[in-house]
Amino acid sequence: MEKQNRKNIFTTIAIDKETDRIIEKLGKRYSLKKGEITKLAFQYLDKANINPSEAPESTKAELRKINKRQDDIIRFIRHYEEEQLNPMIRTSNSIATRFDNIVKSMEDIILSRLQANQEGQNNLLKMLSEKFTGHADTINNQGKQLSALYKNQQKDNKKLLQLISLYSDLANCGVMESKKKENLKTEIASLINSQ
């Protein structure tokens, strides 16, 4: 009954003695039956798209083909880099440079205004302290608060300059510097999340 339930229909093929010896040798080497060796060989030829009637090319010819493909890929990468990436990097670098200059000029303006405000407030505090000695503690506390705000503003400005510098470094990273990019992104995220 087992033979009736079988779905495989076996056929025979004629091979010469030399081929039979090769099949037997491979069967012994890999512990396979002749039918399994033949089946696997044909599956390999089919998957690899190898025409058995064509002689295989030399190793040097295959290596030349591989080298040509590598050269084609390298040419494509260089062309893409010249046509796409380099202009993008130059543009982002010029934007980052302009942004950096704007931030520096804004920082100078803010610092000068803060200094002018602080000087005016110090003068006012001196006048008030002379006139109202009873309110000296309140005026001192306000001066301390303003100083703390000034320090916080300086910290924020430094943090902003660091972020701009990191973004500039990130924009200047090349295609192959993915590890450096990830490190910069992590540094940017930690700087943004720090309080």
Q: Which residues have CB under 8 Å from 72's CB, separation 6+?
A: none
Handedness of CA 9, 14, 20, 23 (dihedral sign): negative
DSSP-derived secondary structure letter, 82: I
pLDDT-based confidence at 28, cuts 50/70/90? Answer: very high
- pTM above threshold 0.95: no
What length does the chain have? 195
pLDDT for 1 equals: 43
Reply yes or no on whether the pLDDT at 64 is more than 90. no
- pLDDT score at 158: 84
Q: Which of 94-103, 106-115, 180-189 has the lowest mean pLDDT?
A: 180-189
- Report pLDDT digits (tens) over 113-172: 888 888 888 888 777 667 766 555 666 777 888 888 888 888 878 887 777 787 777 777
Q: Is the pLDDT of residue 17 over 90?
A: yes
DSSP 8-state code for residue 174: -
Q: What is the pLDDT of residue 157?
A: 80
Please provide residue 134's backbone torsions phi and psi, each rounded to the nearest 5 degrees.
-70, -20
Residue found by looking up tokens 């512990």 in the block: 31
Average pLDDT, the chain: 80
